[in-house]
Amino acid sequence: MSVVTRFGKGAMDADGVLALYDLHARGLLGFFARRTGDPHLALDLLSETFLAAFEHRDRCRAGSDGEMAAWLYRIAANRLAGHYQIGRAHV
């Protein structure tokens, strides 16, 4: 069973999570680093993204690696937007 299939069915074990991370973490980290200019914040947002993806894996409808990437980048974009909305609320 592929990583994408296992994740979507909630049958993700530790090896599967690592495989999913290995497939997508580098690209997502670059996404955050380019938008924030802060490598530490980028790592925090990356962690939040994978945590949110794991917590909401039952909502994932990805049938391919490309669809999984799109789903993860949507979560990432939402995390990034949320970070900046919270920052504005405290100003």
What pLDDT, on a 0 to 100 scale, did the predictor assign at position 41? 96
- Cβ pair 8, 62 in contact under 8 A: yes
Task: From first to last of the 91 residues of the chain, give the pLDDT tens digit.
Answer: 576 666 655 556 667 778 889 999 999 999 999 999 999 999 999 999 999 988 888 788 888 888 889 999 999 999 999 998 876 644 4
Which helix (H) or strand (E) segment holds residue 15: the answer is: helix 14-36
pTM metric for this prediction: 0.83
- Cβ pair 31, 54 in contact under 8 A: no
